[in-house]
Amino acid sequence: MNRRNLLAAIPALAVAQGLVRPALAQAYPSQQIKFVVPYSPGGLPDTVARVVARKLTERIGQSVVVENRPGANGVVAAQALTSSTPDGHTLLVTDDSMMTINPLLYKNIGYDPKKDFLPVSLIATAPLFLAVHPSVPANTFQELVALIKSKPGEFAYGSSGVGSTHHLSAEAMKAALGLDIRHIPYKGTGQSVPALVGNQVAMVFSAFPSLAGFVKGGQVKLLVVNTAKRSVFAPNVTALGELIPGFDFAPNIGIFAPARTPAAVISRISEEVARLVKEPDTIQTFNTAGIEPIGGGPAEYARVLELVAERDARAIRSAGLKAE
What pLDDT, in 10s, does the model give residues 290-304? 999 999 999 999 999
What's the whole-number mean pLDDT along residues 36-64?
A: 94
**pLDDT tens digits, 175-196:** 999 999 999 999 888 999 999 9
Express the helix, strand and coil content of the chain in percent, nearest 5 each.
50, 20, 35
pLDDT at 270 > cutoff 80: yes
Q: Given this model, what pLDDT does residue 42 score?
A: 86
Q: Given this model, what pLDDT does residue 14 score?
A: 47
Q: Given this model, what pLDDT does residue 83 score?
A: 95
Q: Given this model, what pLDDT does residue 27 score?
A: 85
Mean pLDDT of the chain: 91
Q: Given this model, what pLDDT does residue 26 score?
A: 60
Tell me if the bond preceding 137 is cis, omega within 30° of 0: no
**pLDDT tens digits, 25-48:** 568 999 999 999 999 898 899 999
Q: Given this model, what pLDDT does residue 311 score?
A: 95
Among 16-20, 126-130, 177-181, 282-286, the minimum mean pLDDT is found in 16-20
Return the higher-pLDDT residue of 265 and 26. 265
Percent of the chain past pLDDT 70, that is, above it, reads 92
Rounded-to-10 torsion of CA 232, 234, 236, 237: -110
What's the whole-number mean pLDDT along residues 151-167?
A: 95
Contact 219, 130 (CB under 8 A): no
Q: How many angstroms separate the CA atoms of 282 and 187, rounded?
A: 30
| CA–CA–CA angle 299, 303, 305 (5° rounding) | 115
Count of beta carbons in the 10 Å neighbourhood of residue 108: 8
**pLDDT tens digits, 201-258:** 999 999 999 999 999 999 999 999 999 999 999 999 999 999 999 999 999 999 999 9
Return the higher-pLDDT residue of 77 and 19. 77
Contact 123, 52 (CB under 8 A): yes
Q: Strand 64-68 vs strand 33-37: parallel, antiparallel, or unpaired?
A: parallel
What's the whole-number mean pLDDT along residues 55-75?
A: 93
Give all domains of the chain, ordered by start, each with its CATH number.
20-126+251-319 (3.40.190.150), 128-243 (3.40.190.10)
pLDDT at 80 > cutoff 60: yes
pLDDT at 22 > cutoff 60: no
Full-model pTM: 0.87
Which contacts of 274-277 are long-range, i.e. CB under 8 A and separated by 24 or more positions? 274/121, 275/59, 276/52, 276/55, 276/56, 276/59, 277/52, 277/123, 277/124
Among 18-27, 49-58, 66-75, 258-267, the minimum mean pLDDT is found in 18-27
